[in-house]
Structure 1
């Protein structure tokens, strides 16, 4: 029995449309997957970037301004996370609180990351870490020692650590506050309450935070993670972002779910404003600017119309005062600095042969030593800077005093005093006193008491220094004789004959 191929041909023709349909569907699915991948990538780019804010060095007005403006920029750019990379020994309390206020009010989640290895977040840095929504540390880093450093200054007993065991009830276990002043206790309690409130807000270890303030304790990265002081540890920034991916964080404007695994990282670098503010608020620079400003004004007042010293002095003085307005200063120290500079300037106008100048140097050095009212690292004025500026003032006083001393020893070359000792020539002599309309001798005027007829005063005229002067002599002197001036009374000169050996020896 023969078979016919017609049915197979028909089945083959029927299978071709199904194959084309499957291929078309496969292409559509591939296109949809590609579109979904593009949409996912676009959506991930639109979710928001990660803003990195590096902070290295002491916390001060410059770093506070930089962090505050960077958080505002991250909010404008709709970043999904802001990471503050910390490496700080501490800083000023006012700047720290300004940063914490910006973090608490930030609509963008803020993570504090103590990195790289070897970095630390001591003192003010510990408060900032506690204030952030996420706290992380890299291996080999540490945080703590949050006791306000200025409390351990001269005359104030620093807080003593509590004993590890409560069994010791001897004098050594007495509270440290027994030896502290009321002001010190108030400041420590305020700092402890502040960091405890931040710890409770973020759900972290509040007891250890208070110990960091009262006992100045510190922790390494692993210890901080074990005691729930920080939320996690990470090797580097990419590792941190991977571990934060998918986490939901509550901020000032609601909950935010992070998608940081593949987010774009943007690092905010300090701009010119931050650099200028960092330089200006350096206590050394502020002190130098004040000194230059005062000396510039002095030279302008001493030489009116010179303009340049006055302009430079005013600018430096205003910038220096602006810097001091941002720094914790002692007004007693500032007053001593101004008093010292005033004494140095007065030495130039009222030469006291170094008395005012020496007092000014002592006042300036004492004021510079106590100018900055904190012992925070990076905010003290080195002794070398104070010594250099004081030495410059001492050189100024030395030159002014030496000039004044040499000028005092020079003979007078102008004014009425310069006439004493001068040589003149009698051009018109009178043998008897010349009387005026009142009947008094011409030489017997106020200041010429005693020169009357009884004394036999002789009045005449002489040429001295090319000028015609009325002269009075004890004895008549012939015209053409040379005379030496021995005194002056108003417009009348007392003279003696220059050829007289005895008088010449006296005058010489």
Structure 2
């Protein structure tokens, strides 16, 4: 069954995958930034969790500003925090920027909490709008682990980094360290008063007017005087591809895509020719791996998930009395729990798989494949309804002596037959024990009754 299924399905899947890749290419091609004149101010909007998508977006925005010889990049920031790895990428990109970067905590009511504090501190100019806050940058384990040694290690490392960044930018290093060690926070007015930020402005226009004429030093040693007052403003928003990545950049989504994709492929294997489940399954699996490509994950956890799914599928083909199904469900659950274990973060939502989703998914898939396996075994144990096997067990009448070969009459047809248990006389009833091509193997019936129809 599998080879025929593969021969029919693979070409269709290849065409579908090709169309998907073309669509993704078309979407990605729209990621280029808008055209802008030299000397313009490029505005990026970074709101939400600090993660791989935000890091890619800010990197793309700064790249575009450098290519267009922008006067400055303004990052409108509003975040509760996020992954430490993504925060590090953003901080490194800002520090290495060849154009001045101004981070503006906006809108009123927004925040640059936790990982956002590092981003503000790393910028050439730090600004806030009234009614915003900054701070509370103590690192937290993504798994909620309470290991005091590991917590102290992460805190000390974060405190040293943010202190160095604050000194580099000439800001209040003591407060920056307190934001990490003591979760200190500050309002916009307090942050300006104690030297955490450089400007408090109620709008983007006010911000550009206030920072105009400031001198900043870039990493290559160049001193640049900001010329932002009256400069053209170009907004470089998040692209459709990045929005799609942001939606997929969730371990729960990745786990669901991998599981549903495997389930759909298994259905196609059990029911060859359905086509849609196979196409959906391969696309879902591709998107699942695509989602994992933009979030930090544990390779051991992914391996356990894949092994678990494979064992669940094999349960439908191998009679294991539930051993494969139970093992697959356990492997899937453990892999899902380990999938994002150990990811460091700075506050923000947990970047981990929901435990209830794990338990429900493992139980649901285990029940499904157990049901499938039970029905497959039951179907295999039923007598054949068509084909050569249907003749086994049928009764026929000898029409010539079988010593041991001769002819029998069955269902209105003469068949060559060979007796297995001695000579059979014409008119005796025999039972078919096997069929070998156009030849039957028979034995005498226990009760000699004339069976079958006569010519």
- 1:91 has 2:37 as partner: no
How far the C-alpha of 1:329 sits from its partner, in A, is 0.8
**Counterparts in 2 of 1:348 and 1:152: CA distance versus 1, 3 Å:** closer
**Counterparts in 2 of 1:489 and 1:276: CA distance versus 1, 3 Å:** closer
Identify the residue that residue 447 of structure 1 maps to in structure 2: none
Which whole-Å CA distance do the structure 2 matches of 1:152 and 1:390 have between them?
Answer: 20
Identify the residue that residue 404 of structure 1 maps to in structure 2: 376
Which whole-Å CA distance do the structure 2 matches of 1:293 and 1:299 have between them?
Answer: 10
Which whole-Å CA distance do the structure 1 matches of 2:188 and 2:398 have between them?
Answer: 103
Which whole-Å CA distance do the structure 1 matches of 2:372 and 2:143 have between them?
Answer: 42
Identify the residue that residue 6 of structure 1 maps to in structure 2: none
Structure 1 or 2, whichever has the larger Rg, is 1
SS of 1:469's equivalent? strand
**Counterparts in 2 of 1:268 and 1:384: CA distance versus 1, 3 Å:** farther
Where does structure 1 lack aligned partners over 5 or more consecutive residues? 1-44, 158-178, 435-441, 443-458, 502-508
Identify the residue that residue 222 of structure 1 maps to in structure 2: 189
Matches within 5 A, 1:35-74: 48-74=39-65
Identify the residue that residue 408 of structure 2 maps to in structure 1: 462
Number of corresponding residues? 405
Identify the residue that residue 324 of structure 2 maps to in structure 1: 356
Task: Kindly indicate whether the alpha-carbon contact (under 8 Å) linking 2:317 and 2:373 is maintained by their aligned counterparts in 1.
Answer: no
Which whole-Å CA distance do the structure 2 matches of 1:55 and 1:203 have between them?
Answer: 24
- 1:117 has 2:117 as partner: no
Identify the residue that residue 37 of structure 1 maps to in structure 2: none
**Counterparts in 2 of 1:497 and 1:69: CA distance versus 1, 3 Å:** closer
Which whole-Å CA distance do the structure 1 matches of 2:367 and 2:379 have between them?
Answer: 18
Where does structure 2 lack aligned partners over 5 or more consecutive residues? 1-35, 451-455
- 1:202 has 2:169 as partner: yes
Identify the residue that residue 172 of structure 1 maps to in structure 2: none
Which whole-Å CA distance do the structure 2 matches of 1:78 and 1:375 have between them?
Answer: 35
Identify the residue that residue 212 of structure 1 maps to in structure 2: 179
Identify the residue that residue 124 of structure 2 maps to in structure 1: 133
SS of 1:219's equivalent? strand
- 1:471 has 2:419 as partner: yes
Which whole-Å CA distance do the structure 2 matches of 1:353 and 1:47 have between them?
Answer: 71
Q: TM-score, normalised by structure 2?
A: 0.77
Identify the residue that residue 180 of structure 1 maps to in structure 2: 149
SS of 1:424's equivalent? strand
Instruction: Give deviations 1:89-133, integer Å, cap 9, x for gaps.
Output: 212222222212221122221111111122111222111111001
Task: Kindly indicate whether the alpha-carbon contact (under 8 Å) linking 1:473 and 1:496 is maintained by their aligned counterparts in 2.
Answer: no
How far the C-alpha of 1:464 sits from its partner, in A, is 4.7
Instruction: Give deviations 1:12-51, integer Å, cap 9, x for gaps.
Output: xxxxxxxxxxxxxxxxxxxxxxxxxxxxxxxxx9883322
Identify the residue that residue 163 of structure 1 maps to in structure 2: none
Which whole-Å CA distance do the structure 2 matches of 1:328 and 1:141 have between them?
Answer: 30
How far the C-alpha of 1:321 sits from its partner, in A, is 2.7
**Counterparts in 2 of 1:464 and 1:210: CA distance versus 1, 3 Å:** farther
Which whole-Å CA distance do the structure 2 matches of 1:390 and 1:375 have between them?
Answer: 26
How far the C-alpha of 1:218 sits from its partner, in A, is 2.4
SS of 1:494's equivalent? strand
